[in-house]
Amino acid sequence: MESRQNYRTLNVAVHDRIATITLDRPRQRNAFNREMGSELSHAYRACDADDEIRVIILTGRPPAFCAGADLSSGDATFTDPAQDFSAAGVNPPAWRLRKPVIAAVNGHAIGIGLTLALQCDIRVMAEDAKYAIPQVRRAMIGDAYSHWTLPRLIGISRAAHLLLTGTTFDGRQARDWGLAIESVPADQVLPTALALARDIAVNTAPLAAAMSKQLLWSSFENDAARIGIAETDLHRTLMAHPDAKEGVRAYLDGRAPEWRGTPDPREL
């Protein structure tokens, strides 16, 4: 496993075309601060630009995924924003990356700890961990685009319940609501996410996956007709690419495909 960058709040490693970004402030239960936001933004961009990387996993150093905002400033935590303050948390958000992003939520995720995971494409969550967006209980509101992501993931009524009450729930409930694709014991979260990431890294064409992800997230802003037109245009682009033949050949030969395409921004 190769380290790609020295960070103070993260650990980033790449192995078998999978980048694992680990929130790494264990003494603070991986609490989120401005430095972590800056470093995570940098790591996202670096992983997205590296053609060796096919899939990104976001996880936390046990026992927590992320305890939420760093409260070390006490009652000034939410009262002294910097001049360049943004509630977004990171830039770009995970859904803007070209690579699939899996959140391996392997422990408690509170506040921005959870809302960052909501930005990812897929979530695997610890079944017994606690999750909440409790900001209204601190005289704040949910962050990291949670008012946009959450209703799209679980519907506006359920989203209203979580955002307006700040209630706590567990991984089993998250799975039942559709917030997580799987809910497993905490020590199985990262292995489960890695197995899924390996399947994507080996068996899906990088350019096709990037196009599908882009179209999927844009579907909320476009009507059916526009999505249909976009699907046709992207199909035409993919049909002209060598991977279109390789995918069928590999399937018929019963072997792993050898993809040549990369999620080139010029193609997206």
Mean pLDDT of the chain: 91
Q: Do domains 2-201 and 204-267 have the same CATH topology?
A: no
Q: Quick one: average pLDDT of 160-189?
A: 97
Amino acid 159: pLDDT? 97
Residue 179 is given by DSSP the state: S
Amino acid 29: pLDDT? 93
Phi, psi (rounded to 5 degrees) for 231? -60, -45
Q: Which CATH superfamily is domain 2-201 in?
A: 2-enoyl-CoA Hydratase; Chain A, domain 1 (3.90.226.10)
Amino acid 79: pLDDT? 54
Q: Quick one: average pLDDT of 211-219?
A: 92
Amino acid 266: pLDDT? 64
Cβ(257)–Cβ(246) below 8 Å: yes
Phi, psi (rounded to 5 degrees) for 211? -65, -40
Q: Quick one: average pLDDT of 150-171?
A: 97
Which of 126, 128, 164, 265 lies closest to 206 in space, CA to CA? 265
> Which residues share a beta bridge with 182?
124
Residue-range domain boundaries for the chain: 2-201, 204-267
Amino acid 74: pLDDT? 60
Per mean pLDDT, which range of 75-84, 152-161, 204-213 is the poorest? 75-84
Q: Quick one: average pLDDT of 114-120?
A: 97
Could you read off the pLDDT of 45-103 as tens digits, one per residue?
Answer: 999 999 999 999 999 999 999 999 876 666 555 556 666 778 888 999 999 999 999 99
The proportion of the chain whose per-residue pLDDT surpasses 70, expressed as a percent, equals 92
Answer whether 0.85 is exceeded by the pTM. Answer: yes
Element (H, E) at 18: strand 18-23
Residue 32 is given by DSSP the state: B
Amino acid 124: pLDDT? 98
Instruction: Give the SS3 label for residue 145.
Output: coil
The CATH topology of domain 204-267 is: Lyase 2-enoyl-coa Hydratase; Chain  A, domain 2 (1.10.12)
Amino acid 28: pLDDT? 93
CA Rg value for the chain? 19
Amino acid 222: pLDDT? 83
Residue 76 is given by DSSP the state: G
Amino acid 151: pLDDT? 96
Could you read off the pLDDT of 18-30 as tens digits, one per residue?
Answer: 999 999 999 999 9
